[in-house]
Chains A and B, each alone.
Chain A
């Protein structure tokens, strides 16, 4: 069985890779088989309602009314009938593929049993509705289907040959039969829709509609197919003649072909046995229970939440179930949007496209949340794209409360939110100031989260910079400021006992101030060493503050480092690049955590050097560590650690 599943995975991944080439990994229809089935259901319902508006439920009228739609109103009624047919056929196809994929990728056990079993029920109900639909036009196909269905059911002792008499004796057929068939054809799809809703209840944030481009393309393709090859009736039913040869729908009716090849009993055995097998599959071997009964636990960063991952659940599903804002798109290991760091523990990585997770990334501890399942307690770190810790990022309006020039090129600006609002954030996060022309400028919070009645920014003047020039030359108390925030996944980790080394470059001191003040407020007793690197003494615009911290908190130490001291500075302290000072002081960084807040160049220089000294990747904190390539392209929503022009 595993060999079949592995072979199936191989086939699915290869075919999906080909589709990725054409559609891209975000719009690959094969990643949306479930949502596409939903969409097709709506198309079937919509087109069916139109056809039903013209359908006449009478012995004499049923065939004629469908023929009218097909022939005289071919341009709409005929298209609707054909779309109804082909969408139903496509639905059978996507449902079976959807089911097959979940089986191949072993996504039907544990917590997923409910979706699996309800999916099997949906499958059969769709078949009932589809087969029932073929009875309505009262053509030869309808004659065949009603009689074959009755003959099949008549094998059951409860009917025992009596049911078929309703359809082979003309005097037993009347208009009420068509009312009954119509009633079933409306009632069963309603049940399908209800069951579909139930089917997706246990799948957190299940998508029930594909992306618009897929939906539009699919609908257009169905219309084109309907125009090229309209669905037609096959001559009016005539009970005095046998049905001989039929244009057959192999999506819905193969069981009827088997009925006359094998007989009713083997087909009953196949259908009933197949259904029992499908329903029982989640509990049948080969069982891959690797988790304890209660499942594993997962620590999620930066949310700082510990959640349970149930047996059979992916990391993504567990997180979404608990309201973690994990990023995701295809959920099939194709797009890579849910890529995250496995900081601790073991996880099965599942089957995925190499383009979504390269071997190098895999070796570096990256996983795709939609494919990974824990094999021990784990720690996951991801980049929030919406919120951190459930704190929603939104646009705020504030006004400048006060301004203070801290040095020749650094301005401290206090903002007060309009309406007396308070903003919750994590120490280390940032805001984007929104400019009139739509541009944004990023600045870290310099205030600690517990001081949330005002926001302190430390803004360095960039020569020629539009916003910073405005701050230094025209901004005054009372001026309105619009900004969005809080943003960013760079924040102070409170747990753990490792000493912390803060590396601040220039106005990178701002987020450090927020984190250190918050640490003092929280009574954190961990040793903290701040290395603040600037060019000259005058750039240490708030040097008295860390010196004060040093006096008041024995666990805190401050090391200013000047890279280019002037003679007037009369500097006797440390000189050179700030990260080199750290390297000189700490031959072994294995037992430290490092928070780096400064220019990208500083971070990029420091990171590999620190790593050679034994600093764990899990103990390096800076958005720039992870997203330096993005920074270089200028495509960034990152904190610019102290601001930019």
Chain B
């Protein structure tokens, strides 16, 4: 193998390996710009049943076969979840989430992400999980978000509703 051929191989190999080495890390990808912060809203919640349970009458019970005579009639379908998010007084997200499942008796889920400028924000979250109007869970707080910071708005009814985690 002559020197010229070796050099030519080098000329071809070096850019190829440089290509591999470079594209494996460059150019950089900006996921959240440095002057911004990330807000995520994540809710997984089983709403109230759409129709209240009612007590069956004796006549109704008599019509049922003996093994089906449950005193209460509870339709399984749950109400849709209504979630709203305000940032600095503006509604930035609203979603009506249907319950999961064929009979719509599962939990409804909501996930939303957005970028906001890195500074203090007035954040308000509302949720309705039953029939009727109005929201039965609310939380409103002023949150300081640093550059590259993150706010996770979680929901846990047992812990009182919305949890702002940053």
Q: How far is the CB of B97 from chain A (nearest CB, A)?
A: 8
Q: Which of B11, B29, B38 contacts A245 (CB 8 A)?
A: B29
Any A CB within 8 A of the CB of B12: yes
**Docked complex Cα distance between A102 and B46 (Å):** 52
B residues near A, CB below 8 A? 5, 8-9, 11-13, 16-17, 19-21, 23-34, 37-38, 40, 42, 44, 100, 109-111, 113, 147-150, 152, 154, 165-166
Do B17 and A224 have beta carbons less than 8 Å apart? yes
**Can you identify 15 A-B contacts, CB atoms within 8 angstroms?**
A22-B9, A86-B20, A93-B19, A93-B20, A162-B44, A162-B111, A168-B40, A225-B17, A239-B150, A241-B148, A242-B149, A244-B33, A248-B26, A253-B29, A260-B31
Give the A-B pair count, Cβ closer than 8 A.
Answer: 115
Q: Which of A89, A154, A260 contacts B111 (CB 8 A)?
A: A154
Chain A residues, CB < 8 A from B166: 240
**Docked complex Cα distance between A89 and B148 (Å):** 29
10 further A-B contacts with Cβ under 8 Å, apart from A244-B31, A260-B31, are A22-B8, A86-B20, A162-B44, A221-B13, A242-B38, A242-B148, A244-B30, A246-B31, A251-B23, A253-B29
Chain A residues, CB < 8 A from B111: 151, 154, 161-162, 164
Chain A residues, CB < 8 A from B33: 244
Any B CB within 8 A of the CB of A250: yes
**Docked complex Cα distance between A21 and B12 (Å):** 11
The 5 A-B residue pairs with the shortest CB-CB distance, nearest first, are: A161-B111, A248-B29, A22-B8, A242-B38, A247-B25
**Docked complex Cα distance between A570 and B47 (Å):** 124
Residue from the set A21, A89, A224, A244 with the largest chain B CB neighbour count within 10 Å: A244
**Docked complex Cα distance between A23 and B7 (Å):** 11
Knowing A22-B5, A160-B100, A161-B109, say if A241 contacts B34 (CB, 8 Å): no
Interface of B is mostly: mixed
Q: How many residues of A contact B (CB 8 A)?
A: 46
**Docked complex Cα distance between A228 and B21 (Å):** 9
Q: Which of B13, B17, B25, B34 contacts A249 (CB 8 A)?
A: B25
Residue from the set B12, B38, B166 with the largest chain A CB neighbour count within 10 Å: B12
**Docked complex Cα distance between A260 and B149 (Å):** 18
**Docked complex Cα distance between A23 and B13 (Å):** 11
Chain A residues, CB < 8 A from B37: 242
Chain A residues, CB < 8 A from B27: 248, 250
Chain B residues, CB < 8 A from A246: 28-29, 31
Do A164 and B42 have beta carbons less than 8 Å apart? yes
- Across the two chains, which residue of chain A brings its CB closest to B10? A22
**Docked complex Cα distance between A23 and B16 (Å):** 14
Any B CB within 8 A of the CB of A231: yes
Do B28 and A248 have beta carbons less than 8 Å apart? yes
**Docked complex Cα distance between A260 and B113 (Å):** 11
**Docked complex Cα distance between A174 and B8 (Å):** 52
- Across the two chains, which residue of chain B brings its CB closest to A238? B150
**Docked complex Cα distance between A247 and B13 (Å):** 24
Do A247 and B148 have beta carbons less than 8 Å apart? no
Do B31 and A243 have beta carbons less than 8 Å apart? yes
Do B24 and A168 have beta carbons less than 8 Å apart? no
Chain B residues, CB < 8 A from A241: 148-150
